[in-house]
Amino acid sequence: MRCTIGLVEDDDVIRENYADFLEARGFGVRHFAEREAATQAFAAALPDIAVLDVALGDERDGGFRLCQDLRKISSTLPVIFLTSYDSDADRISGLRVGGDDYLSKDSSFEFLAVRIETLLERHEAILEGDEGRNTQVVVGPLAIDLQRTTVRWNGQPIELSLTHYWMVVALAASSPGQAKTANELMTAANIKVAPNTVAAHIRSIRSRFRAIDPGFDAIRTERGHGYRWSL
């Protein structure tokens, strides 16, 4: 079955170029120029993956707002930001609102296709794997459902992107209590980013837990080593 990409880009020429390339690559593409049109379409039927520009029309942060709306519908839908805004502040904002990947428009079409395929493969493996087995991992007040890719803290759901979900799994479920380096967390989440971007991911994860529990302090920074899940 052909995977469908939800592409949101306000520049007509750029949007058509990306759509033509991705369709030639074998994807189905639903493309939109405005946040509101995309929001309505995605509420009716989610794509398999969303590729969002950050600035949409007069909205400097339209893509971020759209991602937040998507996260209310699905915590596991893969989301890639594809934008000309590539400062660290923009990247951090993209990760904090739930993006799984953040690419500059300077990236080649081929690199975009590889990132899309990688996220789709990871998502498919999540959906198809672990059926018929015990997929519950409980570590103190943390409960992870490996089949549904959901996380709960003190019984309350935590909304995490796929990237953040796999980092939590690596920290808390795989050798809990053992410090994980930035490279190990990148491997777990199947991403390749700068170490300071991993730090931004960790800050975003903490903020998600602290929205539920202001005293959350289970992810410790181990200077020179990485991060540790410690209760």
Two domains, one topology: 4-128 and 136-229: no
pLDDT (mean) for 137-163: 87
If one compares 193 and 44, the residue with the highest pLDDT of the two is 44
d(CA 172, CA 179): 10
The pTM (predicted TM-score) of the whole model is 0.66
Extended beta strands in the chain, E state: 4-8, 28-32, 49-52, 79-83, 101-104, 136-139, 142-145, 150-153, 156-158, 219-222, 226-229
Lowest-confidence pick of 74-78, 96-100, 112-116, 174-178: 174-178
Is the pLDDT confidence value at 133 over 70?
Answer: no
Nearest-5° angle of CA 126, CA 130, CA 134? 130
For residue 132, the model assigns a pLDDT of 45
Contacts of 71 (CB under 8 A, 6+ apart): 77, 97, 98, 159, 161
> What number is the average pLDDT over the span 211-228?
92
CA distance 8 to 15: 8
Average pLDDT over residues 187-195: 77
Q: Band of the pLDDT at 127, cuts 50, 70, 90?
A: low
Whether the predicted pLDDT of 195 surpasses 80: no
Kindly report the CATH number that applies to the domain delimited by 4-128.
Answer: 3.40.50.2300
pLDDT in tens, 41-72: 998 899 999 999 999 999 999 999 999 999 88
The pLDDT confidence band at residue 1, using thresholds 50, 70 and 90, is low
Looking at the domain 136-229, which fold is it?
Answer: Arc Repressor Mutant, subunit A (1.10.10)
> Mean pLDDT highest for which of 21-35, 83-97, 125-139?
21-35
Domain regions of the chain by residue span: 4-128, 136-229
Mean pLDDT, residues 158-163: 86
